[in-house]
Amino acid sequence: MSSTPDHRHVPDNIHVNVASPAGAYTVGNVSFFRYIVRLAEFALPLTLADREAIAILDAIPHAFEADEDVPMISGRGWRIVPAQGDLDWPVLEATPQRLRSALERAQSLLWTHAAAFPVNAREMSAIEHELDLVFGVLMRAEAGGFVVNVSYVA
C-alpha cells in the first residue's frame, strides 16, 4: 500500500468548520484537509494510540451528507451528531481537549513522516498557521466550558 492516498477525489476547495458558542473558525486550506483531517488515509506505521488519536479526525462528517451516509460512531471525548432537521447538518462533537489532542498528534505525525508525503514547505507553513488559529478557537471553547462542532464542506 502506498503512503500517498489517491487525492483525485479531494476537491480543490474544502472548508473545515470548527465552532462553539465561544467562537468559530473556518479552515479553507486544502492541504490542512489532506494532511491533517484525512491523515488516516495514509499508510503510515501507526501505534494504537496514534490510530485512536486520528480516528476522531477521520470521522469528521461532510456537512451535506445524507443522514443514512453518516455513521453513528463515537469515541473517547467525541461523537457524531446527525442532522436534526432539513436546515441542519451532521457534525463531529468533541471536547476541546480531545480535538486538540488529535490535532497535535496529527501535526506530530505529519512532521515525523514529512518525507513520505507529497507536501512542500509552503503547505507545511500554511498547515501550521491554520492549526494555530484552530487551537485558539479550542482554547476559548475550553475556557468557556463548551464542546466544539466540526464538519467540512467541499
Range of the domain at 23: 7-153
Kindly state the percentage of the chain with pLDDT values over 90: 56
68 is a domain residue: yes
Q: How far is CA 34 from CA 28, 135, 146, in A?
A: 12, 18, 27
- The pTM is what? 0.87
Which are the contacts of 81, defined by CB distance < 8 A and separation ≥ 6?
90, 91, 92, 93, 149
135 is a domain residue: yes
pLDDT at residue 43 greater than cutoff 60: yes
59 is a domain residue: yes
Instruction: State pLDDT tens for residues 2-11.
Output: 444 444 456 6
Number of domains, the chain = 1
101 is a domain residue: yes
For the chain, what is the mean pLDDT?
A: 87
1 is a domain residue: no
53 is a domain residue: yes
Instruction: State pLDDT tens for residues 67-99.
Output: 666 667 777 889 988 888 778 888 999 999 999
pLDDT at residue 66 greater than cutoff 60: yes
2 is a domain residue: no
